[in-house]
Amino acid sequence: MVRCRKYALKSFVLENVGEELGKKCVKRVPACFENLISLGENTFRWLWNKLPRYIAKFQHYEDMWQIATRRNNRFLGLTLHHLAADRSFNMYTYHMPCEFKRNDVMNIHAAGLLSGIQKHTQELPYILAGDFNSTPSSSVYALVTKSIYSPFPKSTVYSRVPSLQDRIYVPLTSAYFALHAREPPFTNYGWPKDLSKAFCDTIDYIFCNRGFEPVQATHINTTSRNDVLCFPSSKEPSDHLPLQASFNFAE
């Protein structure tokens, strides 16, 4: 246990969401080929795993589950002990894949993230913060804050995928929304190369479960977006604006 003045670090976890999803997927293999597998299983499976990639190049087909399992986004979690309150809690941070044009990939990762946290949190109070690349009107935001699922896509690459929609996730609270009845006007003002104009909206959040009560949340913005084409700028070192929040343990 690592101690500082206020907190003691009890443990940490670093988990690859796509990799964990991939462990629960089963590649689709036609029944007529089952007997061939026994003749050269390793060689056959290697060839079969490569086949969808080459088919996709010619047919312009994308399997959302395959893309999701190949993304290497990780969540970092810390289990901390508040020395004065003599209570433990978890803190998690995550950077969602930037897949605006493949929303299904982000929905799969959001459910995989919540599933991973649920596995590690041990029913402790926790905070989840990060860049979710999802606006307040998105299906990812609805999943996190309301446990509302969008239908997951079918896969032609995998015969079985994780039944994430069968899990019950307790909705999380956005600290800023809880105190202001809305999200910030924007937290990101950038200009991706594939867009014809700058993107300006809220995609960063600080969430908590029922073990915490938000008591303060601030959106730190020192520059008007009307003064510049986009961020970063001479006054804003990042295209993201910081959020700050304070919490009390819920009774």
DSSP letter string over 156-178? SSEEE---GGGS--PPPEEHHHH
C-alpha pair distances (Å), 96 with each of 20, 110, 156, 172, 208: 15, 8, 24, 16, 17
pLDDT in 10s for each residue of the chain, 251 residues:
555 679 999 999 999 999 999 999 998 765 555 555 555 666 666 666 666 555 555 444 689 999 999 999 999 999 999 999 999 999 999 999 999 889 999 999 999 999 999 999 988 999 999 999 999 999 999 999 999 888 888 998 898 998 887 666 789 999 999 999 999 999 999 888 777 888 999 999 999 999 999 999 998 776 666 777 788 887 788 889 999 999 999 97
The pTM score is 0.84
- Supply the pLDDT for residue 149: 84
Instruction: Identify the pLDDT of residue 71.
Output: 95
Q: Specify the pairing of strand 87-95 against strand 126-131.
A: parallel
Burial class (CB in 10 A: 0-12, 13-18, 19+), 68: buried
pLDDT at 214: 97
Q: Answer for the pair 104, 153: CB distance below 8 angstroms, yes or no.
A: yes
